[in-house]
C-alpha cells in the first residue's frame, strides 16, 4: 500500500492518496503569502488510521517549503499545529 500527499493546484486542495485513490482532502485558498486551510476531511472508510495527521503534516511541510504561512480555520489543522509545536512558526498568530 502506497500513501502519498500531493498538492492538487487545479482544485486548490491537498490530497492524500492510497494506491491511486484520493481518500482525503484539505481544501485551501491563497491570500497573499498565506495559505488558508478551512476544511479537512477523510473518507469514512479510511478514518482512524492516522491519515488526517499525514495529510496535514504533508500540507504544512509543503507550505513551509514554499516560504508561506498558514491560517488554520479548520479545527483539526489548528489542533494539529497546537500539538505539534514544530509547526507553530507557520501561523500568523
User: In a 3-state reduction of DSSP, which class is residue 23?
Assistant: strand
DSSP 55: H
Q: Is residue 93 predicted with pLDDT exceeding 80?
A: no
Query: Which pTM was predicted?
Result: 0.95
pLDDT of 34-49, one tens digit each? 999 999 999 999 999 9
Buried b (16+ CB within 10 A) or exposed e, 78-89: bebbeeeeebee
Structural domains present in the chain? 3-90 (3.40.630.30)
| Helix pair angle (75-83, 51-65), 10° resolution | 80
Q: Is residue 92 predicted with pLDDT exceeding 80?
A: no
Amino acid at each position: 500500500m502506497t500513501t502519498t500527499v500531493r498538492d492538487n493546484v487545479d482544485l486548490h486542495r491537498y490530497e492524500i492518496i492510497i494506491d491511486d485513490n484520493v481518500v482525503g482532502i484539505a481544501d485551501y485558498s491563497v491570500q497573499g503569502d498565506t495559505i488558508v486551510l478551512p476544511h479537512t476531511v477523510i473518507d469514512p472508510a479510511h478514518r482512524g488510521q492516522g491519515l488526517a495527521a499525514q495529510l496535514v503534516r504533508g500540507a504544512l511541510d509543503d507550505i513551509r517549503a514554499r516560504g508561506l504561512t498558514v491560517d488554520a480555520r479548520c479545527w483539526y489543522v489548528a489542533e494539529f499545529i497546537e500539538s505539534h509545536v514544530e509547526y507553530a512558526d507557520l501561523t500568523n498568530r
